[in-house]
Structure 1
Amino acid sequence: MSQYASLNLPLLHAGKVRELYALPDPDRMLMVATDNVSAFDFVLDSLIPDKGVVLTQLSLWWFGQLAGLIPNHIVEADVPAAVTRRAVVVEKLRMVPVEAVARGYLTGSGWAEYQQTGTVCGVTLPAGLHDGSRLARPIFTPARKAPLGEHDENVTYEQMCEFVGEETGEKIRDATIAIYEHAEPIARERGIVLADTKFEFGLRGDGTLVLADEVLTPDSSRFWDADAYASGRLVSFDKQYLRDWLVHDSGWDRSGGTPPPPLPDEVVAATRQRYLDAYRRLTGRELDLG
């Protein structure tokens, strides 16, 4: 059952973190960010308090920073009291089934692929890079979105164009790189390295490409402390801390197909603080939790 059944609105879709509700206007939806957290394609049993508020409020801040660069799906933030600050009213769009990833630094799955092939999603990179290397220019590495609980599939740009069309594919690639190049210096000025990030896009009826879902949050991005990076360390302000605990400290066997264990209170608290710290660093203010 939805966490927000008291809204008395028809639930259209429940994803890993967000829930979409129907509104009287058929062209609008209520998008609610829950406190769920996912890792390795599992939604964990543990919640991260206030996480949904961070995601929504930070996305709204970034949409403001990106104003004029690309249309977005936000209609208004005047929402029912039960979901205030964690929900927004958005346009209904025809979503493109692509995770549009911009990488300005080599790490994560890109680093793993590079070690084997010297490429990331078909993009050839120079030899001699290491985990955390800054790339000469950001690269676009798309993934085909999979159903809930399944792995998204990394694809090349050419493969993406086969299922979204060349015109839409070019628009998505260009918008993804443009957003990253606009956002990266903003984050760096505030002491955060934007290593990589993913976006989702939808299409209006007239074919206009629209930035949707969340944008440049600790869920959708890798944020590193800039001072630590300058000294050769990768210190995260995102859910990498939680992933690291699951892999190295929890005793969970990822290959066994069983769900991850519940998070200890200290891991929940530390993850929550990283999300709040990312919001504070980027916006320059403490999050109003109401």
Structure 2
Amino acid sequence: MRIGDVARRSGVSARMLRHYDALGLASPSGRTSAGYREYAADDIVRIFHVESLRALGLSLREVGQALDDPSFAPADLVADLTARAEQRIARERELVERLRRVADAGPEDWEQVLGVVALLAGLESDDAGSRQRAALTVADAGVPPDALVRALLSETDENVAGALRWALSRSDADVVPALTEALADADVAVRRRAVLALSAVTGSSEALRTVVADDDPVVRRRATQALADRGDVGVVGPLVDRIVDGVADVDAAEALAALGDPSCADRLGTALRGADGPARRRIAQALGEIGGPAAVELLETLVDDPDEGTSVTAKYLLAQRR
């Protein structure tokens, strides 16, 4: 079969067939009396093998190696091709996300497009100073809030993270859903960043309530403190637990006092049962912080407490009230 016939039947151009021949990938096994290439059936099968391997993403050099080297391992080749494809897909997805972020910014001209692209690049810079400068600029530049959330959740530099939280707090967009989704992340560092950001965003109380019992004590403390600062009496129990456990107990006692809920003293009184000496002293200090008749009454019962430290604390706090 002449080269023109092979090209028509195989879909491989005559020019490419000549290139395959020059490289030794798929050469005709014969020539006509006039010197034209003449392909046999086995030659055409070889051409289809070359095309099949190229379709998998192999270079022509790799195609030749795969077809001619008996020691060539197909499994290794497939694994390498898979890794390459995954990297290519990741790059394409990253490009799509970047384009979406630019589109979400609603640019009206190319100058705005370039400005948004520059700021997004700044947020992804390896230099913390560049990221911080970008974060301090994005609030007024129309950068999509989802891009800010993504940057914040991956930010390890506290100064940059603070700038990003500031930018989010100034955003008119609803960033609560994206931050709420991050509260379920398996990475505790991401959850900590998300709860801290939610603490500074309005309309996030419902999301914060979902993590007051989180496995991580830092997440629990931040969520509880933020809700207490908003006057949510539903966190009285967790605040009392912090006092008993000695986890930022001074802040917890001050939060209970600020809440001013009548149940605070009762909850502390219940916590006294079975509490050890150090916990009893912290509870006594918290009772002195919240004040009120019920708290004073409990302090009076602690004057004769078997734990000397608790007794001394109760006497001192009562004396301060006289």
TM-score, normalised by the number of residues in structure 1: 0.19
| Structure with more contact order per residue of length (Cα contacts < 8 Å, sep ≥ 6) | 1
TM-score, normalised by the number of residues in structure 2: 0.17
Kindly name which structure, 1 or 2, has the bigger radius of gyration based on alpha carbons. Answer: 2
